[in-house]
Structure 1
Amino acid sequence: MNSPREVFISVDVETAGPIPGEYSLLSIGACSAFDPDNGFTVEVKPINDKFDPKALEVTGLSMEELRGRGLEPEAAMKTFSSWLATLAGPDDALVFVGFNAPFDWSFVNYYFHRFSGANPFGFTALDIKALYMGAMRCSWRDTRSSRIAEHLKPALSGTHDALCDARYQAEIFRLIWRDLLAHQ
Structure 2
Amino acid sequence: MPEIYVSTDIEADGPIPGPHSLLSLASAAFTADGRLLDTFSVTLDTLPDATGHPDTMAWWATQPDAWEAARRETRPAAQAMASYHAWLLQLPGKPVFVGYPASYDFLFVYWYLMRFVGHSPFGHAALDIKTFAMSLMRRPFRSVTKRTMPRRWFAGTRAHTHVALDDAIEQGELFCHMLREHGGQLGT
Q: TM-score, normalised by structure 2?
A: 0.83
1:82 maps to a residue whose letter is A
Q: For structure 1, which segment, 154-163 or 33-42, has the greater mean C-alpha deviation from structure 2 after superposition? A: 33-42
The number of equivalent residue pairs is 175
Which deviations, in whole Å up to 9, do the C-alpha atoms of 1:87-130 show, x marking residues without a partner?
13xxx421000111010000000000111111111110000000
Question: Retained in 2: the 8 A contact 1:58–1:160?
Answer: no
Question: Retained in 1: the 8 A contact 2:14–2:21?
Answer: yes
Task: Give the whole-Å Cα distance in 2 for the aligned partners of 1:178 and 1:164.
Answer: 21
Correspondence for 1:107: 108
SS at match of 1:29: strand
Which segments of 5 or more consecutive residues in structure 2 lack a partner in the other structure? none
Task: Give the whole-Å Cα distance in 2 for the aligned partners of 1:118 and 1:15.
Answer: 21
Taking only the aligned residue pairs, the percentage that are identical comes to 31
Is residue 85 from structure 1 mapped to residue 86 from structure 2 by the alignment?
Answer: no
Task: Give the whole-Å Cα distance in 2 for the aligned partners of 1:149 and 1:46.
Answer: 38
Which deviations, in whole Å up to 9, do the C-alpha atoms of 1:151-184 show, x marking residues without a partner?
52332221101011000011110111011106x9
Which segments of 5 or more consecutive residues in structure 1 lack a partner in the other structure? none
> Superposed, which structure 2 residues align to 1:58-77 within 5 Å?
59-60=63-64, 61=67, 66=71, 69-77=73-81
Give the 3 Å change call, closer, same or farther, for CA 140–50 of structure 1 in structure 2: same
SS at match of 1:69: coil
Task: Give the whole-Å Cα distance in 1 for the aligned partners of 2:13 and 2:25.
Answer: 12
The Cα RMSD (Å) is 2.3
Normalized per residue, the structure richer in helix is 1
Task: Give the whole-Å Cα distance in 2 for the aligned partners of 1:114 and 1:72.
Answer: 13
